[in-house]
Amino acid sequence: MLGLFVQRHAEAAAAYNDISVVYVHPDNQNEIVDETINNVRTIRVYFKQSKSKIINLLRFFKANNKALKRLPKPDIIHVHILTRLGVIAWWHKITKGTPYIITEHWSRYLPGNDFNGFLRKRITKLVVKHASAITTVTEILAKAMQANGLRNDRYIVAPNVVDFNKFKPIPHHNDVPKIVHVSCFENKSKNITGLIDALSILETQNIDYQCVFVGDGMDFEMIKDYAKKLKKQENIRFTGVLEGQDYIEELASSDFLVLSSNYETQGVVLLEAFACGLPVVSTNVGGIPEIVNESNGILVPPQDPEKLAAAMQTMLQSYQNYDAGTLRDSIIKKFSNEAVGKLLDDIYKSLN
């Protein structure tokens, strides 16, 4: 799950280029897994975690070096998510002349988040400055990075990828309208307790619905307990993590999706919902207004359960008015594997 967006970009780019992925993560043992996944050679290196941050950082760099030694010299290094990996790419540019680009997904540069620390900011600025290009998944993220002094002459929006061969509408009929929420269950950003507050307001109005919560994460048990204390249980369901076809079927068999985030870079689950022909109700934060509008959903202010409840009530009465094919077609030209893969290929070619 931690590398899902990177995996999708790599698979899209692999249609036009020879792509290898290096992924390093702390674990309770040292291990290297080298395999090919969907035409992408993927080298995962796990290293023993220490209580010392300095030792962990050194082990992180050493593990990346182990993986890179397994590969022929790359023509380009494509870094996903700053800052430590950017340092590795910058070092390869200095010592071996290998150009690098950076793709950033992280919302930490948006107002109210945690891009701080003198040394981190200084190193990040240098890494960004010496990159051949910076791509971000939304326009607002690019502007936020630049507002934080991360200067580069070439910022490009390269959005997240949706596999339209997998995410597609399916015929379904629910006895009561089915709402779906998908997230990593980290309440600070996703504000799932705020969604539960809004659902509780709907209950007071005797509105029939079922809401399915898909995902897992650090606040999963807390959120389940919060729901038990606040509202009836017969109209909500927690699935935990769903993957592959199980996830797609749960999403596509819903009537609309709701996202209650306090901040969000893009919200790829919104794109997956559109691909499945679902309209959405979402908070108006981050890059979401770049993809959600009156034609495909309803936007509401963050941290306002009354307005979120009102929007869901409106959608419960109108979701049948949205055409699944139109919702799907509205995003396919920009967010498909082919579109994003070709965009990345054009960027790579421009560096030669």
Give the mean pLDDT of 248-261.
97
pLDDT of residue 229: 85
Q: Are the beta carbons of 131 and 163 closer than 8 angstroms?
A: no
Domain at 178-333, CATH class: alpha beta
pLDDT for position 36:
95
Helix axes 220-230 and 192-204, enclosed angle (nearest 10): 20
Residue 1 pLDDT greater than 90, yes or no: no
Residue carrying structure tokens 């390869």: 92
Q: Indicate if the pLDDT at residue 145 is higher than 70.
A: yes
Q: Residue 4 — very low, low, confident or very high, per pLDDT cuts 50/70/90?
A: confident
pTM: 0.86
pLDDT one-digit tens code per residue, 22-62: 999 999 889 999 999 989 999 999 999 999 999 999 999 99
Task: List the chain domain ranges.
Answer: 4-161+336-350, 178-333
As a whole number of angstroms, the distance between CA 264 and CA 266 comes to: 6
Mean pLDDT of 167-181: 95
- pLDDT exceeds 70 at position 231: no
Residue 266: the pLDDT is 79
Q: Which tokens go with 53? A: 């941050």
The CATH number of the domain covering residues in 4-161+336-350: 3.40.50.2000
256-259 sheet: strands from edge to edge: 236-240, 210-214, 178-182, 256-259, 280-283, 297-300
| DSSP 8-state symbol, 290 | G
Q: Do domains 4-161+336-350 and 178-333 have the same CATH topology?
A: yes
Question: What is the pairing mode between strands 178-182 and 256-259?
Answer: parallel
Indicate whether 153 pLDDT > 80: yes
Q: Which residues contact 123 (CB under 8 A, 6 or more apart)?
A: 83, 87
